[in-house]
Amino acid sequence: MADQGGFVLMVVGVVFIVLGIGTIIWGKREEKSYYNSLVTRKDLREFFSRWPKRPEPGSLKVGGWIAIAVGVAVVITAGALWLTG
């Protein structure tokens, strides 16, 4: 039974890592589309007024790195439990 607990923690850690990588990629794509839309516009009102509202790419990337850090910590904990159990 102890092995199942370690396995579940390992799966949760991997899910966090995958979600973190996905969020970082989403943030990079959002940032790229934002700056590409600025290049094609004659009016830079969106850049200065931040309207329409968009998810900030920086916050998406930071959230992804946090999810990866949590996932790595959970995987390390699961590995330690698996080795000692």
- The DSSP line for 21-64 is HHHHHHHHHHHHHHHHHHHH-S--HHHHH--S----HHHHHHHH
The overall pTM is greater than 0.85: no
- pLDDT (mean) for 57-77: 92
Distance CA 50, CA 33 (A): 14
pLDDT of residue 4: 72
Domain ranges of the chain: 13-84
Instruction: Specify the DSSP class assigned to residue 1.
Output: -
pLDDT of residue 72: 96
Confidence of residue 1 (pLDDT cuts 50, 70, 90): very low
pLDDT digits (tens, 9 = 90+) for 26-37: 999 988 887 777
